[in-house]
Structure 1
């Protein structure tokens, strides 16, 4: 493959003699600079060797005026039809708030690893948690991968960038006494059942609000998670759960079964008395039978905490999602195997559970060692000291 520089008007172009695989004939390809031709002949001559090399290696990308911001905007709009709306809204926020305002004007072909390194380590680290910066990186990786496939850039420069390290943000949970204080106060609220389900099952808020009566088997003491009440383009709507592992069955405590029996009986009475009742078939719904919105539930949740703090000012104000973490933490403290906790929470793997609650597990070692005895040999062998034959040797 050969090439030379030619002038057309007041611009210079690189002309390459190529073999057309379709027509099997020789053809000439005119390549302009990044702005529709080179202003100076020597600039075109300097670019010629690299262009010939990239053409031979099949890594050549036609010069484009697309900015990195335009590449991100196109990716964002295309992503709208392939992910859930709530997920897309989080992408939109990161792109419009943190990516494009900082790097949107950089030409896509001029984007370098240094740009992204500075974005992560200097611009975003003081503002965002490390976990959020990782999400930014994943978004950019995906957008640039697509840009490479579509021939907008020659390589994905994001793959060469290291992410900042930082301490994992720890969530706050209630202990047994604090949870009891909350549930005692929550009994006065019309949505007490929702709060008790969060504490006793570890279900996500979206799963609780989408739980149908047909998915609750009280004789078997089981609740099946089959859908979620999530953010839609207009308001909220029912959708699939977060992932495949989120579809699960959860064993219910006896107290929870008793509460649900009374709750569903009360719901039946409301349906029969109110002719305007629009039954949604849900376990948790408004007094009119319609689905309960997350914001409405949160108003009730924080009102309960406010009432408690009037009497107990230092009562922790944790998030609703932290009831899920409280559930898992109390189970682990009670000696429940992490695999069971994983299944109840609907984590994709036990590694997610172990990683999420890694700060809890070391505290359980003392209790485990106490159960074993004074040595690795266990309590059976301790009986040898007293002249007894351990059961293992029978």
Structure 2
């Protein structure tokens, strides 16, 4: 019958000359388990939660006794990240997203806890990592990294390298909702007035379609149905760096953000007219792109757009033109389901969460309208003295 024990260790108690194995309330305390498998003695740190250590030792001893115990090979976090990126992430996510994953892990994880064995990393170390990061990065950035770490450790557990994820009880930070900005009609006209002629149609298309920047850049002439006044979103144009030292990069076509982003957008008469004129004046390109520079290359979001996009009244992001389009649809009373389809949101809940606060209040007089529908006439209620 296998036997084991739970051991408490505390760095603070040890520094103060106290018995580090005795009970204490220090946040630095951790619990470990000790047991034997055959002639081999195994000692494993679990974390700051004693109940968690009790659960692990109970499960481990049960597996040792019934012959189902399996001791996973030790692997460092850096080595497992390589394995996870190669076997899980690379086949499933877009190249641009994979590039961002690698950068974030290299900058914030590999250099701090990447050298440690997976089985040795504790919840306390993950919390310390996040507490340091929140001092220099936004809550959203920290949450994105934590989500990635949770996924990495989930697969480490699923593939048998660890039993419990050290990220399991690490909470995300509260993210304050950013104030959504959009241009009013008079601001749109002023912005278009100050745009160079070659760039004006690009901005107009953004305002009147709500397309994302990459979707606009990847738009081809064959995506426009001139008879039905419809623009079809089929792809996105992205850039990848060949060398960040000299800024050399190349462009490529990618699928839109999600499968719901493949959509048909209604084209207004004014936009149709502008695009017809733009088609006559713009260079013909092998890729059949609508928006190109004078050399026939796609517009560069890190150069041309940032330089040319100078709103006349105040500073807004280019992405705020997407919000502007949405606000225009809401202002003219379009159905929220139609707005969802035009934006390419996966669910109507996404649309409501982002734009519900600017929807008009339509519940005034609902009681009176209900009475009229049921009873056929509006009831006039007068005060009377009995």
TM-score by length of 1: 0.73
CA distance in 1, matches of 2:57, 2:286: 72
CA offsets per residue over residues 73-107 of structure 1, 9 Å max, x none?
43234423432121012212221222334433443
Q: CA deviation at 1:151?
A: 2.5
Q: Which whole-Å deviations, capped at 9, do the CAs of 1:186-231 have from their partners, x for residues lacking one?
A: 2x24122211111110001111111111110122110000111023
Which structure 2 residue ranges, 5 or more long, are not aligned?
Answer: 5-34, 45-55, 243-249, 381-386
Q: Quote the residue 2:114 is aligned against.
A: 104
Partner of 2:180: 171
Query: 2:174 and 2:117 mapped to 1: Cα distance?
Result: 28
Deviation at 1:163, TM superposition (A): 1.7
Matches of residues 17-56 of structure 1 in structure 2 within 5 Å? 31=40, 33=42, 52-56=61-65
Partners of 1:77 and 1:146 lie apart in 2 by 13
- Find 1:357's aligned residue among 336, 355, 358: 355
Q: Is it true that 1:219 corresponds to 2:233 in the alignment?
A: no
Give 1:253's match in structure 2, choosing from 235, 250, 268. 268
Change beyond 3 A, Cα 1:317–1:62: same
1:341 is matched with 339
Residue 54 to residue 231, structure 1, CA distance change in 2 (3 Å): farther
SS in 1 for 2:368: coil
Q: Cα distance 1:62–1:183, how it changes in 2: closer, same or farther (>3 A)? A: same
**Cα shift readout 1:262-298 (whole Å, capped 9, x = no counterpart):** 111223xx54xxxxxx432111122233333322432
SS at match of 1:356: helix
Gaps of 5+ in 1: 5-12, 17-29, 36-46, 272-277, 309-314, 387-394
Partner of 2:323: 325
Q: CA offset at residue 125 of structure 1?
A: 2.7
In 2: Cα distance, 1:48 partner to 1:196 partner: 64
Contact 2:96 2:240 in 1 (8 A): yes
Displacement of 1:348 after TM fit?
A: 0.8
Q: Residues 59 and 245 (structure 1 numbering): CA distance in 2 closer, same or farther, change over 3 Å?
A: farther
Q: Give the 3 Å change call, closer, same or farther, for CA 322–55 of structure 1 in structure 2.
A: farther
Mark the CA change 1:375 to 1:156 in structure 2 (over 3 Å): closer, same or farther.
closer
Q: Supply the distance in 2 between the matched residues of 1:15 and 1:55 (Cα, whole angstroms).
A: 7
CA distance in 2, matches of 1:32, 1:231: 53
8 A contact 2:2–2:36 mirrored in 1: no
CA–CA separation in structure 1 for the residues paired with 2:357 and 2:305:
28
Judged with a 3 Å threshold, the aligned counterparts in structure 2 of structure 1 residues 130 and 338 are, in CA distance, closer, same or farther, namely: farther
User: Matched residue of 1:103: which SS?
Assistant: coil
Partner of 2:296: 289
Distance change in 2, residues 1:182/1:56 (3 Å): farther
Partner of 2:218: 210
Deviation, 1:343, is 0.7
Q: Do the aligned residues in 2 keep the contact of 1:3 with 1:48 (CA within 8 Å)?
A: no
Tell me whether 1:280 sits opposite 2:290 in the alignment. no
Note the aligned Cα RMSD (angstroms). 3.3
**Which shifted more, 192-201 or 105-114?**
105-114
Question: How many positions carry a matched residue from both structures?
Answer: 328
Aligned match of 1:230: 238
Stretch of structure 1 that moved more, 137-146 or 159-168: 159-168
TM-score calculated relative to the size of structure 2? 0.74
C-alpha distance in 1, partners of 2:162/2:378?
A: 74
Does the 8 A contact of 1:223 with 1:251 survive in 2? yes
Offset of residue 59 of structure 1 = 6.0
Cα distance change, pair 101–338 in 1 and its aligned pair in 2 (3 A):
farther
Distance 1:176 1:49, change over 3 A: closer
* Shift, 1:322, TM fit: 1.4
Secondary structure in structure 1 of the residue aligned to 2:97: helix
The structure that is helix-richer by fraction is 1
Matched-pair contact (CA < 8 Å) for 1:32–1:63: no
